[in-house]
Amino acid sequence: MKVKREFFRNLKELPTEELLAPGSPMCAGCGGLITLRLVLKVLGPNVVVVNAAGCLTMLAAYPYSPLRASWLYTTMGSAPAGAQGVRDALDVLIARGRLPASEDLRVVVLAGDGSTLDIGLSSMSGAIHRGLDFHYICYDNEAFGNTGFQGSSSSPFGSRTATSPAGTTQHKKDLFALWLAHRPPYAATVSAADPVDLAEKVRRSMQFRGPKLFVGLATCPPGWGIDPAQGHHVGKLALDTGIWPLKEAVHGEVRHTYVPDHLKPVEDYLQTQARFHHLFSPQRHDDILATIQNEVIGYWNEVRHREFPQTLLGELSRADLR
């Protein structure tokens, strides 16, 4: 079940202008790159991207850039502070008449999950608390992908990383919940596997002043151990198994924009990736697999009770997986 869309109903209605040229040095099949491409299509060319050190830093290497937008590179922990400086400078220049209002730019922070949830958490929290008018795009590949795929606080339970070769024992930090605690006007989860949902949310967010926050699942072929050509398929499985919920919050009111009628087993998603192979071979870890599956079922049962109390949607159980 999908919510009614206001701006884009299908792929044919998405903007056709390309603001991110092909042929960059990024990894083939990078979900973060596809997310950025779709975001820029909606925001348009009048953008300045403030990039925290990470995978997508490789996108623009002086003097070359595939972007039809301005680009500012910062350290891993200071992108939101850099965005504050850029936004303040633009506002001062416009107020003093030194820059026409027609030449104003949208300020976009582009950061990975390591920068967002670990190294840059305080800078991000401060910018949101100050009510900075910006878009924050977190491409979540669930590890420190640019330096060897070390575990981050976004690495999911049971996943193998360079620093957790036997599987992560901690559970993934809930970035969406952290954002909601700051009471921003808009926050959303997105996935390039549903480009219309992604574009719709970016377009909807543009009506608000203040922090507009997006976290997108970024399929990572080298880190996850998948064929680059399978990135969309793996991303779609994350939606259909319920592991990656699509939702948004407008002034704190949360709704899910895609609710699967039936969940596929989480194993369908996990088995596609080398980072989870140790859960199946040389022996199955049914306890870990059951924990992951039960968490997903519990999450969606809570969503059904909260958002659809008057419907006939009953509680999910393992027997409902198909």
Element (H, E) at 33: helix 31-43
What order do you get walking across the sheet with 246-250 strand by strand? Answer: 70-74, 47-52, 106-112, 134-140, 211-217, 186-191, 246-250, 253-258
Residue 33 phi/psi, 5-degree rounding, is -65, -45
What is the overall mean pLDDT for the chain?
Answer: 94
Q: Residue 280: CB partners within 8 Å, gap ≥ 6?
A: 267, 270, 271
Q: What percent of the chain has pLDDT over 90?
A: 88
Q: Is the pLDDT of residue 275 over 60?
A: yes
Sign of the Cα torsion 146, 33, 122, 78 reads positive
Sign of the Cα torsion 223, 226, 230, 235 reads negative
At 67 the three-state DSSP class reads strand
Q: Half-sphere exposure of residue 108, counting CA atoms within 13 Å on the CB side? A: 26
pLDDT for 104-140, tens place per residue? 999 999 999 999 999 999 999 999 999 999 999 999 9
pLDDT for 168-195, tens place per residue? 999 999 999 999 999 999 999 999 999 9
pLDDT for 305-314, tens place per residue? 888 776 545 5
Q: Is the pLDDT of residue 164 over 70?
A: yes
Neighbours of 36 (CB within 10 A): 26
DSSP string, 88-143: HHHHHHHHTTSS-GGG--EEEEEEEHHIIIIITHHHHHHHHHTT--EEEEEEE-SS
Residue range 256-284: average pLDDT?
95
The domain locations on the chain are 11-320
| pTM across the whole model | 0.95
Residue range 202-213: average pLDDT?
98
DSSP string, 266-290: HHHHHTT-GGGGGGTSSS--HHHHH
The pLDDT, as a whole number, for residue 103 is 95
Task: Give the integer Cα–Cα distance in Å for 77 and 96.
Answer: 31
pLDDT tier, 149 (very low <50, low <70, confident <90, very high otherwise): very high
Which of the listed CATH numbers 3.30.565.10, 3.10.129.10, 3.40.50.970, 3.40.50.300 matches domain 11-320? 3.40.50.970
Residues 31 and 217: beta-carbon distance below 8 Å? yes
Q: Residue 274: CB partners within 8 Å, gap ≥ 6?
A: 160, 224, 225, 226
Residue range 160-171: average pLDDT?
97
Task: Give the integer Cα–Cα distance in Å for 204 and 186.
Answer: 9
Task: Give the integer Cα–Cα distance in Å for 7 and 196.
Answer: 9
For residue 161, the cross-strand partners are 164
Unique residue bearing structure tokens 């640019």: 146
Tokens of 86: 């850029």
Residues 221 and 228: beta-carbon distance below 8 Å? yes
